[in-house]
Structure 1
Amino acid sequence: MKGSCACGATGYEIDRLDSPILHCHCTTCRKTHAAAYASTAGVQRAHFRWRHGQAVLRAFESSPGKLRHFCGQCGSHLVAERVGVDLLIVRVATLDDAPTATPDSHIWTEHDVPWLEDQGLPRYRQWQPGR
């Protein structure tokens, strides 16, 4: 499977997902992704390769020993890693190809805030003018 950032400056390839897809609700994921949660999955380092754009990659140490790698041009978060750990954390939404797996669970929901509640809101296939 291939993945990339929003502007296409960086790209990677993985052989497979090595752990289930999880929706992470931790405060750091919410803030760094500017989203209610981040969909993630583990990939062994041996199953991950950068295809292009490593020169534009930037990193942010969000907690001691945990680096979040993002495109320095568009800001897309692509991968996170812990120093000395063989499992990378891929941001599933950056995959260009749909994974064969589906999400397994939500984690760090103790970090949820009240405004995240869906409460049966209407769903639209596309943006609706006037909304």
Structure 2
Amino acid sequence: MKGNCLCGSVEFEIDGNEFNIYQCHCSLCKKQSGSTSNSSTIVAKENLRFIKGKDFISSWVKDTGFRSDFCSRCGSPVPNPLRNLDLYWVPVGLLPVSVKATVIAHLCISTISSWHLLEPGVAKFQDVPDLGLLKELLTGSSHGN
């Protein structure tokens, strides 16, 4: 499945067409997305390929290690390596509307916006859970990895 930034300068492809996703409600993700949360998934490094525009990717890294990669032309967040792991963080808003995505977790609900409604039956975490647990949730049966 192909995805791209707002202006189309950065384009990538990921394996699969069904994804489990999470929504993070921490202050960093809200500011990065400009919304109540960011909706993302995590994929194995070997399952993501940049097709074009790697030269247009800029990065911002906070002292804590939080990293935000974005298109230098339009400012859209783009997939970025997750820490020192063989994983990529992928904002699912860059994928086509035809993608089948299932929200499996809400993170950092202790800082959720008052107007954001949480659907029943979805895992909820006060803070960011252990990465191993999050990866396990995301790589369930409906994930493209």
| TM-score scaled by length of structure 2 | 0.72
Counting only pairs closer than 5 Å after superposition, residues 7-26 of structure 1 correspond to structure 2 as 7-16=7-16, 20-26=20-26
1:84 aligns to what SS in structure 2?
coil
Distance 1:54 1:93, change over 3 A: same
Q: Which residue of 2 aligns with 1:82?
A: 82
Identity of aligned residues (%): 28
- Of the two, which has the highest radius of gyration? 1
Return the alpha-carbon distance in structure 2 between the equivalents of residues 19 and 63 of structure 1: 30
Shift in alpha-carbon separation, 1:117–1:3, aligned structure 2, 3 A = closer
In 1, the alpha carbon distance for the partners of 2:20 and 2:53 equals: 27
One-letter amino acid of the structure 2 residue matched with residue 92 of structure 1: V
Q: What residue number does 2:141 align with?
A: none
User: Could you tell me how far apart the structure 2 residues matched to 1:2 and 1:31 are?
Assistant: 26
2: CA distance, partners of 1:82 / 1:89: 6
Q: Deviation of residue 66 (structure 1)?
A: 3.5
Aligned to 1:61: 61
2:28 match: 28
Paired residue type of 1:35: S
TM-score by length of 1: 0.79
- How many pairs are equivalent? 117
Cα contact 2:18–2:99 (8 A) shared by 1: no
RMSD of the alignment, in Å? 2.1
Q: Aligned to 1:20, what secondary structure does the other structure show?
A: strand
4+ residue segments displaced more than 2 Å: 16-20, 62-67, 80-83, 96-101
After TM superposition, the structure 1 stretch with the greater mean CA deviation from structure 2, 27-36 or 76-85, is 76-85
Distance apart, 1:98 and its partner CA: 2.9
Unaligned runs of 5+ in 1: 119-131
Structure 2 gaps, min length 5: 118-145
